[in-house]
Chains A and B, each alone.
Chain A
Amino acid sequence: QQQVKQSPQSLIVQKGGIPIINCAYENTAFDYFPWYQQFPGKGPALLIAIRPDVSEKKEGRFTISFNKSAKQFSLHIMDSQPGDSATYFCAATQGGNKLVFGAGTILRVKS
């Protein structure tokens, strides 16, 4: 049972494009929604995170959009670069521990 459903599984965009990765959750008690970026052979690293009291958060070229009523959140990468090619995971947690991860999206940005 996947508590956080992530789509698409993989995504190819041209350099400068805006890839969008979507996640949906069921547990309304989740109160922290981070996104992690993972390069091959490395562990995941926190990219950006949001709490349900805001609808959008931007950090550099990365933006999270959050829709509490729809129980969905998404990651947008503005002006994507080949160096953004990685696997992206959305996650959620209730009470601050035991992160629940989506299945991951493999992003490839073509130069």
Chain B
Amino acid sequence: DAGITQSPRHKVTETGTPVTLRCHQTENHRYMYWYRQDPGHGLRLIHYSYGVKDTDKGEVSDGYSVSRSKTEDFLLTLESATSSQTSVYFCATEMALNTEAFFGQGTRLTVV
């Protein structure tokens, strides 16, 4: 998994609570991404980062924020979790553009 660790791996949370998912990489890759995976939709980009403190929105960014204070860590925060955010979340890293993207093992989040 190219040194990518996602935590937690599983989480159940209540509607309206804030949730933070963490992605940690040991490869010193510049580019990092957060995707969500839902049946029938494949993987959809939430937010991405080109470097420390350099982030931008993806296709489905509403209700999510990110931060990257160190090269190795990319945090995804759900400000106020909703049931529609129940999903499997994947972090990915890329050394350079148009190269292989490496994915973490995923975090299964359930909002009840």
Q: What 1/0 mask marks residues of chain B from 27 to 46 whose CB sits below 8 Å from any chain A CB? A: 00001010100001111110
Interface residues of B (CB under 8 A from A): 1, 4, 31, 33, 35, 40-45, 48, 50, 58-59, 90, 92, 94, 96-106
Given contacts A89-B43, A98-B48, A103-B40, contact A32 B98 (CB under 8 A): yes
Of the residues A9, A43, A104, contact of B103 by C-beta under 8 Å: A43
Q: Which residue of A lies closest to B4 (CB)?
A: A43
Q: Once A and B bind, how many residue pairs between them come within 8 Å at the CB atom?
A: 62
Given A36-B103, A89-B43, 6 additional A-B pairs, CB 8 A: A96-B98, A97-B97, A98-B48, A99-B45, A101-B43, A102-B42
Mostly helix, strand, loop or mixed at chain B's interface? strand
> What 5 pairs between A and B have smallest CB-CB spacing?
A96-B97, A43-B103, A96-B98, A101-B42, A101-B43
